[in-house]
């Protein structure tokens, strides 16, 4: 009876660890995919698009003109990117790991467009994008805020 209890507890513990054990390789493969394929390189582009919609950007434009404001904000986005890029990439990896297996992600990381899973990548882009948006809206907001605050403090006085 005691042996049966030990086996039962062992099976419960092992089954409790299985999802994490299974997810871990997918997370590692997803991180590798994001880094090798430079998937997170859109942070600055999204940051600038988001910044342009703010009142702070409008203030910069009124003081420096559109070109001056864009140059300054772009420079500040570059400066602040290292502070936020890691979390951005981690969130991307999580979003991909939720939708792809380790095998698929390893293939996509190493073969890119030549991967037999490239079609699935295209099919899942909207789902991954929705997941990424939910996870990363606060990261994007903090990134843009940091850049705009810096830009505003550096805006030349009239």
Instruction: Determine the pLDDT at residue 1.
Output: 52
Query: What's the CA gap between 138 and 50, in Å, rounded?
Result: 12
What is the tally of structural domains in the chain?
1
User: What per-residue confidence (pLDDT) applies to 79?
Assistant: 98
Q: Please give the Cα distance from 132 to 128 (Å, whole number).
A: 6
Tens digit of pLDDT for each residue in 110-124?
999 999 999 999 999
User: Does residue 123 lie in a domain region?
Assistant: yes
Rg value, the chain, Cα: 22
Give 61-96 pLDDT, tens digit per residue. 999 999 999 999 999 999 999 999 999 999 999 999
Residue 110, domain extent: 20-154
User: What is the pTM (predicted TM-score) of this model?
Assistant: 0.80
C-alpha distances in Å from residue 63, one per residue of 94, 110, 157: 41, 47, 8
Residue 116 lies in a domain: yes
Do the domain assignments include residue 131? yes
27, 93 Cβ separation under 8 angstroms? yes
């Amino acid at each position: 009876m005691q042996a049966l209890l030990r086996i039962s507890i062992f099976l419960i513990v092992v089954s409790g660890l299985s999802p994490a054990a299974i997810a871990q390789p997918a997370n590692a493969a997803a991180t590798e995919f994001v880094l090798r394929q430079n998937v997170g390189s859109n942070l600055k582009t999204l940051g600038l698009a988001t910044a342009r919609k703010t009142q702070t950007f409008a203030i910069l434009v009124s003081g420096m003109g559109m070109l001056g404001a864009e140059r300054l904000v772009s420079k500040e986005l570059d400066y602040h990117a290292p502070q936020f890029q890691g979390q951005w990439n981690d969130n991307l990896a999580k979003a991909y790991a939720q939708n792809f297996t380790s095998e698929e992600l390893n293939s996509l990381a190493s073969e890119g467009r030549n991967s037999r899973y490239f079609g699935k990548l295209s099919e899942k882009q909207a789902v991954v994008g929705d997941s990424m948006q939910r996870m990363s809206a606060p990261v994007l907001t903090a990134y843009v805020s940091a850049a705009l605050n810096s830009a505003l403090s550096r805006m030349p006085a009239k």
